[in-house]
Amino acid sequence: MLITGTSSDSHTWNLIFLQLMLEEMGHTVANLGPTPPDELVVAEALAHRPTLIVVSSVNGHGFNDGLRLIKAIRAEDALADTTVVIGGKLSTDGLRNVGYTRQLKAAGYDAVFENGELGPFRALVSRLPHRAVS
């Protein structure tokens, strides 16, 4: 599985938490860390061919950064069937925004998780096959 922050998000605790949780669930994880350029995320996804790509945002710019990133990921035919999810703080207004979720899913995310929705995230992960990242 591949975990990444967004290009403008310098937070790391969320990425470490997700990595540890996924490893505890039995998955091998590559963690790209904070502020990776979109091109790096795509290149690493092509190199590793993960079962799941997790995009995490804490700074509130998840919607804008995530929308741009999913377009770059889905532009690659080899990543068309890769499960890609985004979660965390998607906007700076502090409101739950169904419109953001709808737009992110329409752009190509398989799921969108608001802050603290670990139960649904774990359920999605538990349905995915275990495969080591090479």
pLDDT at 9: 92
Check pLDDT > 60 for residue 132: no
Helix (H) or strand (E) holding 86: strand 83-88
∠ at Cα 65 (109, 88), nearest 5°?
A: 65
pLDDT at 131: 57
Contacts of 6 (CB under 8 A, 6+ apart): 35, 55, 56, 57, 59, 61, 62, 65, 66, 69
Check pLDDT > 50 for residue 84: yes
pLDDT at 116: 73
Per-residue pLDDT band at 97 (split at 50, 70, 90): confident
Per-residue pLDDT band at 104 (split at 50, 70, 90): very high
- The tokens of 79 are what? 């990543």
Contacts of 70 (CB under 8 A, 6+ apart): 55, 84, 86, 104, 107, 108, 109
pLDDT at 134: 45
Calpha distance 38→96 (Å, rounded): 25
Q: What is the pTM of this model?
A: 0.93
| pLDDT tens-digit map of 17-60 | 999 999 999 999 999 999 999 999 999 999 999 999 999 999 98
Per-residue pLDDT band at 111 (split at 50, 70, 90): very high
